[in-house]
Structure 1
Amino acid sequence: MSEGEYRVAVRALCDFTAREGDLDHRFTPAPSAREGIAGHALVAGRRGEGYEAELPLSGRFAGLVVGGRADGYDPAANRLEEVKTHRGDLSRMAANQRALHWAQVRVYGALLCAERGLEGVTLALVYLEITTGRETLLTERASAAELTAFFEAQCRRFLAWAGQEGEHRLRRDAALRELAFPHAAFRPGQRELAEGVYKAAATGRCLLTQAPTGIGKTLGTLFPMLAAMPRRGLDRLAFLTMKTPGRRLALDTLAVLGAGVTPAAGEAPSERRPPPLRVLELVARDKACEHPDKACHGEACPLAAGFYDRLPAARQAAVARGWLDRESLREVALAHRVCPYYLGQELARWCDVAVGDVNHWFDHHAMLHGLARANDWRLGLLVDEAHNLVERARGMYSAELDQGRLNRLRRSAPPALAGPLGRLARQWQQLVRDSGPAEEGDGQRPDYCLLDGVPKGMSGALQRAVAAITDYLGEHPEGGSAELQELLFEALAFCQLAEQFGEHSLCDLTRRGRGRAVLGLRNLVPADFLAPRFAAAHCAVLFSATLSPGHYHRDLLGLPADSVWQAVASPFAAEQLEVRVRGDISTRLRDRERSTAPIVAELAGQYHRRPGHYLAFFSSFAYLEMVLARFRERHPDVPVWAQTRGMQEAERDAFLGRFRPAGRGIGFAVLGGAFAEGIDLPGDRLIGAFIATLGLPPADPFNEVLKARLETRFGQGDDYAYRIPGLIKVVQAAGRVIRGPEDRGTVVLMDDRFARREVRTRLPEWWRLG
């Protein structure tokens, strides 16, 4: 592409120019990406010899380069096809959605006629219902002149925006070439981290970097990646987090790096020019929705009515502002009377940096991944607290069906759904009967049963129920209960994963009482799903204070073979942290009653030797409550407070609020919970931690199956299923104590297994165990 040209995909061009009217999201569950690919292949397979599938086409108009892949062309019939998969009744499709599809095929038609010198072509929209495989064909004949006029009209509508975007890219890249580190010097270890990140961006590789808490990992990763954007031709940067606090920290850092623009000559410091870097915070739909009691269509929600008609002005105002955190985006959206959530979805196409949850790149329907693929972006990926990605990804690619939900729903379901829901209920009953022998002696079936695979009869009944519910909700958009929609979500997710079932997952049945079984598809090895996501990024940096050993994350996350491992040395000295091991205490389940007294004595002794704030971590709420009751009985003078099951955000804030400077007391918490990582209590707000567990997952049937499966695949069953995940939690919890170079503190590890060599070698090298 020559200098001065702007490249745009056909889909992006039409999304920009051909959408109008209401936002309409009446419940019409879309096929998965895998189902869409399979549907396109099915249509192509039905066509005759010589049919050209996935036909690359491109053309130019006034400095605009438009390209993409048409779904199929039949030279014999001179017919160009745009294939769209759908589920349920096609008549539910909104008129403006159909208009968008016609715009896409017309643009492809113009490109085809120009490339092959055709005088005209038959255009076809092929709608494939994925459940039945039935095609609906809509056609029109168009001349090359008509299509060229249409194509040029779309391009003219886009050209002003393209020119603006081109200028923004030049201004952005110029600013990033001059980007300076915002502090006088790097913290110890921060420069090494930054150099590793820049090399990953320069070589287009994946980097696993373990860097200790307190060196400024957010700045140490964002700064070099932003500096690499103009030099390595990166189009976008995604900073992905596991929790909201990480998102806030990234935004604060970006405010310093990208949006803190130096005033121009003669400009008052309080005045701000448009920032060279567009930053977008991606917020979950339920958090961004202004009218949660209304459906997402123009007849119900005022912010959906005329959404696409008001979108151009809102989009222009948003990119002019540039800084689009949750509050700023909401302000722009409401000023233009459009939905904040869907405005954010639109702006994901035009921002430079997106800050959001990891699901936006890694899950089944990840928006950023879809945009990157559709627009051929060179995207840099930063993943914060990456030690959590294994478990998060397992959750993304797992699904459950709840028999109890189905039974409740059948009592109130509309008559039109009685048949398909009844057949599904009978499949449930048959599955429970056939799922295994009763345990000897008690006359009861086991609570947990591992199945050989996805029950075939259940899959068929689910597919039929999905089709029936989808049709019903299409005809009665206001008549579906929340429970009916939840059942549909469950069934769709389960069906999609069932199509991809393999050695990376298992299928199990858990009985929770009569009529209350749960059928699960549970991912064990997310690598098979995540490997294509890493391959789609130009470069990826996964960082955390606990990413050791590197092979554990490489294997389970499916990282490329040429991925680089980096361990940044800790800037902290052993003298800052007293680490003691109580090898005389066992926290195993069978020993917990007798462990209570020595644990209470240890907590009280350390507290009285050095009064201040401490955190005490336990393996479960039951264990926590047992020790807490004994401690209160023996030491009523020591202030204590405890994490409880299902704490709300205000309660969590109150728990942390007790850790005031110069205060005293012990907070009791669960290892791996909300207070074991991601919290910052510097100085004397926290001077020590007690960890009364090795953090090992329970040796239950599920984890034993996981261990066996990981042993077969990687030869590391016990380590990968138990020891490594447990010790990651331990090190994360201990990492709450030393947060800066002036901090001093104590960590007491209470379990005899901490004295074992295979455990000690996986603890931080700078710790001096006593």
Structure 2
Amino acid sequence: MDRAETPLYRVAVRALCDFTAREGDLDHRFTPSPSAREGIAGHALVTGRRGKSYEREIALSGRYRGLVVSGRADGFDPASNRLEEIKTHRGDLSRMAHNQRALHWAQVKVYGALLCAERGLESLTLALVYLDIASERETLLTEEASASELSAFFEAQCGRFLGWAEQEAQHRQARDTALAGLGFPHDTFRPGQRELAESVYKAAATRRCLLVQAPTGIGKTVATLFPMLKAMPRQGIDRLAFLTMKTPGRRLALDALARLGAADADSQETQLRLPLRVQELVARSKACEHPDKACHGDACPLAAGFYDRLPAARQAAVARGWLDREALREVALEHRVCPYYLGQEMAHWSDVCVGDVNHYFDASALLHGLAQANGWRQALLVDEAHNLVERARKMYSAELDQRALSRLHRQAPATLVKPLGRLVRQWQVLVREQGGGTDEGRPGQPAYRVLEELPGRFLGALQQAVAAITDYLAEHPGGADPVLQERLFEALAFMRLAESFGDHSLCDLTLYGRGRALLGLRNLVPADFLALRFTQAHSAVLFSATLSPPGYHRDLLGLPGDCVWRSIASPFHADQLEVRINRDISTRLRDRQVSLDPIVAELVGQYRSRPGLYLAFFSSFAYLESVTQRLAQRHPELPHWSQTRGMSEAERDAFLARFRAGGQGIGFAVLGGAFGEGIDLPGERLIGAFIATLGLPPFDAFSEALKARLDARFGCGDAYAYRIPGLIKVIQAAGRVIRGPQDRGTLVLMDDRFQQREVRKLLPEWWRMA
């Protein structure tokens, strides 16, 4: 091992072996594996059985021609001269995939080489210690190796990786040189763009979090990407993640990166392309080429020999550089490997990843895990960040269905009947304790209960059922009922959240009667889960047109105390948007029926005074349908079309296609749905909007429980549970009207509550109310 050369590249032992030692088929058949908590406990159990001289968690490092390799070996017993790599598992060890066992042997051999070099040992006993979590039984596999043999193995692995390391170092240098000289892709900045870009750059330079409200239409995507890319070389930022809420947001980010020079699809001069690797992260369900096949070499041709073909595919992918969904698929199929798992591999080597927010903020997020494992300085850009509160709540919530588990019990294999029966009985006890049936005050409606504490006996039965199902699936890998696996995943998610239950969440029970109830763990304050994610990022920029008031997002997302708030002034003027409040209309639930005629009169009056294309937003499909029926009865000549429940992508496209220059009519949509944000209808394609709601969440038992919890924690229950999230939806919908400096339009707010002081102060300052 060479200890003199200046380090060229640093790599962890696990990452080195993962790169060099895997071979053969991809095998992702579901086989239950221990959780992280169980793995830690298993390591402690094994090492606790060793003697007093046993050394644990030994930090080791070494060099090979400028390559620095480091890691922590699990344990070393000096008395027996045995180095151990400890792995936990469930079920029959012989069913472990070959490439997984090869990885384990490679790891212990590399650690052995590092230990021999550091301590001057002439030989070692290498041991793989497999601990069965269920039985706590150890299986010991050993191999004798001399220091020279281990050194040769270490050098061979490093040699296989070194060419890649040199390539990566050269790429990093070329990337940083190019980014340092990167220019803005347009001749001038739009109004507000320069201020936004400067704020983003300062956040990156000071390693701060930035919460920035910037108006629709100024070009936020390029104004955040450009400064963050410029900051990467100067601040030593390793990776950038551009995180979106919906698929169209990914496309906007990719288009902006292409304008910045990351793609050269229209040019034959490939040397002009910015040396920046860009990857679009796609969900497994959308990337899978053979959804009807199991994910292993015996069933799927793209899994067979995956690791044998991966090196060539990986090299082709980095040479391609631009890896949107189509490009990555093309590379994968050319090399006959799975596009999804090639994408998972390339996330290690891409400079910019564009994907959904769950890729960083979810409990098992890919990008967060890679950043922590590799010690990356990672920067975040979070688009449409006003949606992050609700998205994060869903990430850290879980639900169990009594009827689904009862059905599973009836259909279960014989060995699972007893533990599932115990769980079914505990369901019945829980329902009985909470009164069962429907709500006495609301006949025909389900009863809703907030539980003061977690149901301990039920969770005990659930844990026993999970253990039994897990053991069963470990003995029947790949051939188990997918419904059984699905119920297991739901139960595991529920139990993980139960372990961290606190005042950030509530446990509730919804009782439908006739043997059906839903038990939920609902996250209310994502801050307790997200705060660490923000502090672990080098810098995080959250941007949207609707992030006011900032305290709401700071509190509920757990943003750092030194998080900076910026509000970019709107480039639009009050004379571009006529804003009227119809004070004679109430859209409160009790007033819905009497509001129909006044709403129709407002729609028709505005349309006749200025014919063109309009959007009308309502609080629910039922309300929307009532208005459209009344409109069709009274004014059948007025063209209109409506959003419907569960619209397909093609149906959504057809809805938007009606908004073409020269067209006329009113499109009806639900506030907060697919057409309330993220759509661009400039100029004559949309000249006005009607909003017949404050967007408030339903006034029900859950919303009241949320209000009480937020009031207790932040003293802002009504605002945080109802008013702010509702008006964010209103402002987003209204933002569809004015998209550029030449646009002119009308906004009609149809509810008397819009004139209330606490409501008006949350509306944009540049709106002038008529």
In angstroms, what is the RMSD of aligned CA positions?
Answer: 2.3
Give yes or no for contact 1:26–1:474 (8 Å, CA) kept in 2: no
Alpha-carbon separation, structure 2, partners of 1:727 and 1:231:
40
1:212 aligned residue (186, 211, 215): 215
- CA deviation string 1:488-533 (max 9, x = no partner): 1111111211111111111111122312211111111111111121
Distance 1:626 1:275, change over 3 A: same
- 8 Å CA contact retained: 1:87, 1:467: no
Matched, 1:17 2:16: no
Assess if the C-alpha contact under 8 Å between 1:577 and 1:747 holds in 2.
yes
Matched, 1:629 2:632: no
1:68-79 aligned at under 5 Å gives the runs: 68-74=71-77, 78-79=81-82
Equivalent residue of 2:86, what SS?
A: strand
Match of residue 181 from structure 2: 178
CA–CA distance in 1 between the matches of 2:132 and 2:585? 62
Is the counterpart of residue 256 in structure 1 residue 259 in structure 2? Answer: yes
Compared CA separation, residues 481 and 64, structure 1 to 2 (3 A): same
Quote the Cα distance in structure 1 between the aligned partners of 2:445 and 2:755: 41
Equivalence for 1:495:
495
Deviations 1:458-486 (A, max 9, x none): 22332332233333334434533332221
Whether contact under 8 Å (1:32, 1:496) holds in the other structure is no
Q: Distance in 2 between matches of 1:582 and 1:30?
A: 60
Task: Supply the distance in 1 between the matched residues of 2:336 and 2:344 (Cα, whole angstroms).
Answer: 16
Judging changes above 3 Å, is the alpha-carbon distance between structure 1 residues 710 and 474 closer, same or farther for their aligned structure 2 residues?
Answer: same
Instruction: Report what 2:289 is aligned to.
Output: 290
Letter in 1 for 2:303: A
Shift, 1:139, TM fit: 4.1
Counterpart contact for 1:89–1:471, Cα < 8 Å: no
Aligned to 2:578: 578
Counterpart contact for 2:578–2:768, Cα < 8 Å: yes
CA contact (8 A) 2:8 2:166 kept: no
- SS at the partner of 2:87? strand
Give, as a single letter, the amino acid of the residue that structure 2 aligns with 1:671. L
Contact 1:580 1:748 in 2 (8 A): yes
The one-letter code sitting in structure 2 at the alignment partner of 1:567 is: S
Which of 57, 62, 78 is the aligned partner of 1:59?
62
Amino acid at match of 2:317: A
How many Å separate the matches in 2 of 1:194 and 1:273? 25
2: distance between equivalents of 1:444 and 1:669?
Answer: 29
The answer to whether the 8 A contact 2:399-2:494 is kept is yes
The residue correspondences of 1:448-467 to structure 2 (distance < 5 A) are 448-467=448-467
Asked if the contact 1:754–1:760 (Cα under 8 Å) also holds between the matched residues in 2, the reply is yes
Q: TM-score, normalised by structure 2?
A: 0.95
Distance, in Å, in 2 between the alignment partners of 1:29 and 1:20 is: 22
Say whether 1:168 aligns with 2:171: yes
Percent identity reads: 76
Report matched runs for 1:475-486 at 5 Å: 475-486=475-486
1:694 and 2:703 matched: no
CA distance in 1, matches of 2:12, 2:74: 14
Deviations 1:355-408 (A, max 9, x none): 111111110111111111111111111111111111111101111111221222
TM-score (normalised: structure 1): 0.95
Distance 1:220 1:435 in 2: 54
Find the aligned partners of 2:99 and 2:581 in 1 and give their Cα distance. 67
User: In 1, are the aligned partners of 2:6 and 2:66 still within 8 Å (CA)?
Assistant: no
Matches of 2:64 and 2:274, distance apart in 1? 30
Report the Cα offset of residue 175 of structure 1.
Answer: 1.0
Tell me: CA distance 1:169–1:632, structure 2 relative to 1, closer, same or farther (3 Å): same
Q: Which moved more, 1:365-374 or 1:99-108?
A: 99-108
CA distance in 1, matches of 2:384, 2:88: 37
SS in 2 for 1:765: coil
State the one-letter code of the partner of 2:332.
A
Cα distance in 2 for partners of 1:499, 1:134 equals 26
Question: Counterparts of 1:648 and 1:99 in 2: how far apart (Å)?
Answer: 45
Q: Any residues of structure 2 matched to 1:753-764 within 5 Å, and which?
A: 753-764=753-764
Q: Which residue of 1 aligns with 2:667?
A: 667
User: Which residue in 1 is equivalent to 2:329?
Assistant: 330
Amino acid at match of 1:739: R
Unaligned 5+ residue runs, structure 2? none
Change (3 A) 1:746 1:32: farther
SS of equivalent residue, structure 1 residue 512 = strand
Secondary structure of 2:516's partner? coil
Show CA shifts across 1:63-121 (max 9, x none).
10111233344556654443334444444321210221221222222223323333444
Q: 1:264-300 CA distances to partner (integer Å, 9 max, x unpaired)? A: xxxx856556750111111000000000011111111
SS in 1 for 2:163: helix
Partner of 1:107: 110
Query: For residues 247 and 99 of structure 1, do their structure 2 counterparts lie closer, same or farther at Cα, with a shift above 3 Å needed?
Result: same
The equivalent of 2:159 in structure 1 is 156
Give the Cα–Cα distance (whole angstroms) in 2 for the partners of residues 134 and 687 of structure 1: 71
- Cα deviation digits, residues 665-686 of structure 1 (max 9, x gap): 1111111111101111111111
In the aligned structure 2, how far is the partner of 1:422 from the partner of 1:449? 24
Please give the alpha-carbon distance, in whole angstroms, between the structure 1 residues aligned to 2:47 and 2:443. 55
One-letter identity of the residue aligned with 1:711: D
Structure 1 unaligned residues grouped into runs of 5+: none
Shift, 1:18, TM fit: 0.5
1:398 paired with 2:397, answer: yes
Q: Which moved more, 1:327-336 or 1:269-278?
A: 269-278
Name which of structure 1's ranges 47-56 and 533-542 shifts more when overlaid on structure 2: 47-56
**Aligned ranges for residues 27-38 of structure 1 at < 5 Å?**
27-37=30-40
TM-aligned CA deviation for residue 742 of structure 1: 0.5
Determine the C-alpha separation between the residues in 2 that align with 1:81 and 1:196: 50
Give the letter aligned to residue 106 of structure 2.
A
Contact 1:123 1:139 in 2 (8 A): yes
